[in-house]
Structure 1
Amino acid sequence: MAQFDLSRAELEAYQPSIDEPTDFDTFWSETLAEARGYGGAPVLERVDAGLTELVVDDVTFPGFGGHPIKGWLVRPARAQGPLPVAVEYVGYGGGRGLPHEQLGLAAAGYAHLVMDTRGQGAGWGSGGHTPDPVGSGPATPGFMTRGIADPHDHYYRRVITDGVRAVDAVRQVDGIDPGRVAVMGTSQGGGIAVAVSGLVPDVVASVPNVPFLCHYRRAVEITDAFPYGEITQYLSVHRGQEDVVWRTLSYLDGVSFARRARAAGLFSVALMDGVCPPSTVYAAYNAWGSLAGGAERTIDVYPYNQHEGGQAYRFAPTLAWLAKHL
């Protein structure tokens, strides 16, 4: 795919007007208060992963609705003192995988919590273990239109809440420094990291790579690729439902969350990305911290890559960013 979106100069200046609902903050404060009302400390079960220098815990914590959410917590075996922690969210269709797939950050001295994504974990990778017990009205296959008729029912209200509760949970674990928490992820995981950064004001650092779930309307207008294509397909069948769909998604747009972020944000974007178009990423990046008095931010650009972005090349910049801020 060639570079198909705005020019580099236009992307760097791109600050679209989005249809943010007036009760956005109320919607999310009530959502999180309800979820936190279920209480519950995380439950850790030590796993023998055959590793001598790292320890692994199978974590279960209460997410949206108090539903049990799984994760892996990987830490250095000989850590001294409370550790900084990075909470990672997974890409679309994937799950938390297997413990030995999550070694890099712990080997660098961090605690690393990888959150399973409810109802996913069968599209790629080594699988997931967290069901989504909530049903849905008519929806296009996938997750983008589950509960699309009402923001209270939408799938990503649950997943984003799970992401916030993952931060709440890991802060309760012995040996974790609750004041040094970062969030991160790629694609869907990057979009969740953006959302959590806007909802948890004392997250210190955020690393969204080629983030999904940002500026939905723009994405649908300029790409046919899925998962955004699920929205297009739904609207092609449910003619005349545009207002309902866009209203629901306005409560879930990464641009709105980005505006509220206080964490230091390290983004990445690929200029040939037809899955998460560059302008949707820049819409969130350029809005980062704008309602919070500003926040440190930088973006790494891959001009000749598609949705794979930087892949393994992201590890070194991520470590440098975490070392600087945690």
Structure 2
Amino acid sequence: MPQTDLTLAECLALRPQLAEPTGLDAFWARTLREARAHAGAPRFTPVDTGLTRVTTYDVTVPGFAGEPVRGWLHLPTGVSGPLGCVVEFLGYGRGRGLPNEQVLWANAGYAHFIMDTRGQGWSAAPGDTPDTAALSGTVPGFLTRGVESPQEHYYRRVFTDAVRFVEAAREHPAVDPDRIVVTGHSQGGGIALAVAALTPGLAGVMPDAPFLCDIRRGATIAGAPPYTELAEYLSLHRDRAEQVFATLAHVDAAVLASRATAPALFSIAMMDDVCPPSTCFAAYHRYGGPKDLRVYEFNGHESGGAHHRREQLTWVRELLAGPHPDARTTPSAFRLA
């Protein structure tokens, strides 16, 4: 897995000038206002997973246009709340899976919400979240869905679902609303960055190898999907490049990241051909709050894996115990892992 992008020194010096769409803040304020106007409360149904130390609930939250978004809530059994909470968003093509699969954060003593990503779960599973909009792109995948218009784009719906999921977590009696951290790997990392930009008052954000950052550059240099979906689409629709990237600028997590203020812990892998490191560094450098970074020089898209989970566990423990050291001492920090 050779390096195919900029060197680490070049990435650290990178300061991309990304164009922000006119009316971007109004676009998202209107989108979220419309979603909140739909009636309906989150539902939590107990699930028997066979686990004795974690209590799990099947979650349904009114998301974009009030449409039901599924997920899981894991709570440490026998621990009284309100608890610090980790809200997790998933990678590209991954649904929420089985209720017993992802219980790390509950075992660490936190409430753990996992959001199903609309349209990306198992097609035969009754608990999936469907995407209610028709497939408008001519290339398989989600990145080109509705790419002709910001109002119709797939990630407008997903980002709205994610904000509403965090709002549902804040309202849950087991959760301390002031101690919520959002996280995710790849697509989930891009969603977490967008949520951090669109949701004030978060305690922290942990984007790992984030997708949806500096999307135009990703479409130009990435060697593997999903960014290659855009290159394929534009190879067929040669006259639509400016229209496509004008749409995608509304959901570019590196553009939105400048609006986020919560402390952040990023991970970036220098041999990542799915989310090239320069695109991730674009989001890191533009991030508006205090930030810390772990760089994995010899890893691909898996980034830090279990090693980085350990870093996250330590970071969240310190963060939710009080003011994070990075937030008190320096606006940014970096080290190789």
Question: TM-score range with shorter-chain normalisation?
Answer: over 0.9
* Matched residue, 2:184: 185
Aligned to 1:322, what secondary structure does the other structure show? helix
CA contact (8 A) 2:214 2:255 kept: no
* Matched residue, 1:292: none
Aligned pairs, number: 319
Q: In the alignment, residue 297 of structure 1 is paired with which amino acid? A: K
TM-score by length of 2: 0.92
Q: In the alignment, residue 190 of structure 1 is paired with which amino acid? A: G
CA contact (8 A) 1:93 1:122 kept: no
Aligned to 2:46, what secondary structure does the other structure show? strand
CA contact (8 A) 2:81 2:173 kept: no
CA contact (8 A) 1:42 1:170 kept: no
Deviations 1:65-84 (A, max 9, x none): 11100000000111123011
* Equivalence map 1:127-138=2 (5 Å): 129-138=128-137
Q: Is the counterpart of residue 168 in structure 1 residue 167 in structure 2?
A: yes
2:73, 2:54 → 1: CA distance? Answer: 10
TM-score by length of 1: 0.95
Q: CA deviation at 1:128?
A: 6.4
Q: Is the counterpart of residue 75 in structure 1 residue 75 in structure 2?
A: yes
Aligned-residue CA RMSD in angstroms? 1.4
Q: Is the counterpart of residue 49 in structure 1 residue 49 in structure 2?
A: yes
Aligned to 1:301, what secondary structure does the other structure show? strand
Deviations 1:292-322 (A, max 9, x none): xxx2101111111111111111211111111
Aligned to 2:266, what secondary structure does the other structure show? strand
1:282, 1:132 → 2: CA distance? Answer: 30
For structure 2, the 5+ residue unaligned runs are 321-337
Aligned to 1:101, what secondary structure does the other structure show? coil
1:287, 1:142 → 2: CA distance? Answer: 28
Q: CA deviation at 1:137?
A: 2.3
Q: Is the counterpart of residue 310 in structure 1 residue 309 in structure 2?
A: no
CA contact (8 A) 1:96 1:127 kept: no
Aligned to 1:52, what secondary structure does the other structure show? coil
2:10, 2:256 → 1: CA distance? Answer: 22
* Matched residue, 1:269: 268
Q: Percent identity, aligned pairs only? A: 50
CA contact (8 A) 1:53 1:77 kept: yes
Q: In the alignment, residue 191 of structure 1 is paired with which amino acid? A: G
Q: In the alignment, residue 23 of structure 2 is paired with which amino acid? A: D
1:138, 1:218 → 2: CA distance? Answer: 20
Q: Is the counterpart of residue 113 in structure 1 residue 113 in structure 2?
A: yes
Aligned to 1:267, what secondary structure does the other structure show? strand
For structure 1, the 5+ residue unaligned runs are 290-294
Q: CA deviation at 1:127?
A: 9.9
* Matched residue, 1:89: 89
